[in-house]
Structure 1
Amino acid sequence: MARRRRRKQKNSIEEAIAGIALIAPFFFIYSVTGSMGASVFASFVAVAMVIAFIFYRQLAAATRLRNSGIAEIDKMDGRQFEKYLGLLFSAQGYKAEVTQASGDYGADLVLTKNGQRIVVQAKRYSKNVGLKAVQEVYGAVAHYRASSAWVVTNSDYTEQAYRLARSNNVRLINREQLIEMILQVKQRNSATKKAG
């Protein structure tokens, strides 16, 4: 809920800036030149620039999503998602172990890096993940003798899940963070291939 509110506030700020960018050239040019024609022309140029900027941002966002492969992730079942995350974390230098499908004690993956053990709950959902996932992964910390607990989803979390995670020091990785993680790994891999 709070994230949705922040997104709406961000959109409102962007709309206000676009509005100012459309109106300001008209008044500025008119005050400098006194020419209505030049003012209208400046406004048209500003409109074209705002439209181009909006188009560019939408195109960049669509390209980013396509490059991340998130659409394929959205089609995976839960077990495929767990295995995919195992590969993704392995590419980041973690030793990743996907736990058994049932009776996993709240951890779908166990990651190890630099002597630290992290339990991960993987949630491939079409809706927001609730606090049950946070409770389960937090419970897995003691069983697996882990130092940290994470929940990773291709979606987002409820406000209750965010609050519980904050109070129990559980890291939540949502859709945007997952996309960013995937893109970073792909970028690193392509740079390594070019260098090699």
Structure 2
Amino acid sequence: MAATTRLRNSGIAEIDKMDGRQFEKYLGLLFSAQGYKAEVTQAAGDYGADLVLTKSGQRIVVQAKRYSKNVGLKAVQEVYGAVAHYRASSAWVVTNSDYTEQAYKLARSNNVRLINREQLIEIILQVKQKNSVTRKVG
């Protein structure tokens, strides 16, 4: 699939126009489609997690960053801090952009998964492909 077609099919341009809260809700739907139970936390006082995902008894805290520039250290620190509060086993940061080198380093040393623009597009396309297959079969 050509790069421009992949981008168009992913809907990433619409994501780039969303506000932060819409992005959080969108990710909740996206991860639900992947079999996670997704809960969007309250807007204020979320203790560093925008979403809490549950699957197979595992809890994952997610910090969502809809940015036009690279996401820095603070997001990694916040989501890592949320692990204990939500009694989670993993922490992820998801962005429609990318991360600074410092963020990548801190995430590696703290076992925080960073999902950047390319990986997000990949997840979206996988979900869309899975859904189109089920629609055709059903």
- TM-score, length of structure 1 as denominator length: 0.70
- Percent identity (aligned): 93
What does the per-residue CA deviation read over 1:56-91, in whole Å, with 9 as the maximum and x for residues that have no partner? xxx811000000000000000000000000000000
Displacement after TM superposition at 1:190 (Å): 0.2
In the TM superposition, 1:82-121 aligns within 5 A as 82-121=24-63
- Give the match's secondary structure for 2:34: coil
Displacement after TM superposition at 1:100 (Å): 0.2
2:97 corresponds to 1:125: no
- Give the match's secondary structure for 1:128: coil
Whichever of the two has the greater Rg, that structure is: 1
Count of aligned pairs between the two proteins: 138
In the TM superposition, 1:181-192 aligns within 5 A as 181-192=123-134
Whole-angstrom CA distance in 2 between matches of 1:165 and 1:193: 38
Looking at both structures, which has the greater relative contact order when contacts are Cα pairs under 8 Å and sequence separation is at least 6?
2
- TM-score, length of structure 2 as denominator length: 0.99
Displacement after TM superposition at 1:168 (Å): 0.0
Structure 1 runs of 4+ aligned residues shifted over 6 Å read none
What does the per-residue CA deviation read over 1:110-153, in whole Å, with 9 as the maximum and x for residues that have no partner? 00000000000000000000010000000000000000000000
Whole-angstrom CA distance in 2 between matches of 1:165 and 1:138: 9
Displacement after TM superposition at 1:167 (Å): 0.1
Question: Which of 129, 151, 155 is the equivalent residue of 2:97?
Answer: 155
Displacement after TM superposition at 1:181 (Å): 0.2
What stretches of structure 2 of length at least 5 have no aligned partner? none
Whole-angstrom CA distance in 1 between matches of 2:72 and 2:16: 18
What does the per-residue CA deviation read over 1:36-56, in whole Å, with 9 as the maximum and x for residues that have no partner? xxxxxxxxxxxxxxxxxxxxx
Displacement after TM superposition at 1:97 (Å): 0.1
In the TM superposition, 1:160-171 aligns within 5 A as 160-171=102-113
**More helix per residue: 1 or 2?**
1
- Give the match's secondary structure for 1:149: strand
The Cα RMSD (Å) is 0.7
